[in-house]
Amino acid sequence: MKILLEMFITFFKIGCLAFGGGYAVIAILQKEVVELKQWVDNDELTDIMAISQTLPGIIFVNSATMIGYRKKGLLGALVATLSSILPTFFLILLLTFVIWGFTDKLIVRKAFTGILLGVTALILNSVKKTWKTAVKHYSDIVLAFMATALLLFTKVNVVIILLIMAGLGFGKNLFIMIGEGKKNGLN
């Protein structure tokens, strides 16, 4: 029961800070669930984030659900999902009833600009941390830039790009493993 309460508080807190969506929350998740709580390690979080991006829905909620399930099964997934959604639900209620009438005010627009700049910094920090975990070989850099180019300069669906990169990554690693096997005399 203690771990479920701790999970609820952790994901609720992250949900309160999750401005900017899934990419912005990667750094916060990494700090909380990898470094502080040690519920998953960096490689597992990277895998969870990759899977979360391919699933329909909010990346943070998908990630929280998977982490909750990994830690405490179905009940953990339910607690993590609910606690990650509640802050947004309350914020939408607050925006609807209180702030919405003030969005045309200059000070409110400036505050949202500041929030967007903070989100940009969080996303860049997430890229740096994910890069350290994901890039282990020069060919990984090529794949990362290829995926970036496809995302920025084509209209190919992100799911298709992820599937292409998964296939290329699998093929690259298989090629490396076969090469190492031949080098070590294993056929």
Q: What is the DSSP string of 5-73?
A: HHHHHHHHHHHHH-TT-HHHHHHHHIIIIIIIS-SS-HHHHHHHHHHHHHSSS-HHHHHHHHHHHHHHH
Per-residue pLDDT for 75 more than 90?
yes
**Sorting pLDDT into bands at 50, 70 and 90, what band is 37?**
very high
Q: What is the mean pLDDT of residues 132-145?
A: 86
Q: What is the mean pLDDT of the chain?
A: 85
Check residue 83 and give its pLDDT: 94
Check residue 19 and give its pLDDT: 65
* Secondary structure letter of residue 103 according to DSSP: T
| More confident call, 19 vs 169 | 169
Residue span of the structural domain in which 142 resides: 135-187
Indicate the number of domains in the chain.
2
Q: What is the mean pLDDT of residues 124-138?
A: 82
Check residue 138 and give its pLDDT: 86
91 shares a domain with 28:
yes
22 shares a domain with 105:
yes
166 shares a domain with 124:
no
Tokens describing residue 174 = 């298989």
Number of other residues whose CB lies within 10 A of the CB of residue 172: 15
Per-residue pLDDT for 187 more than 60?
no
Check: pTM over 0.85? Answer yes or no: no
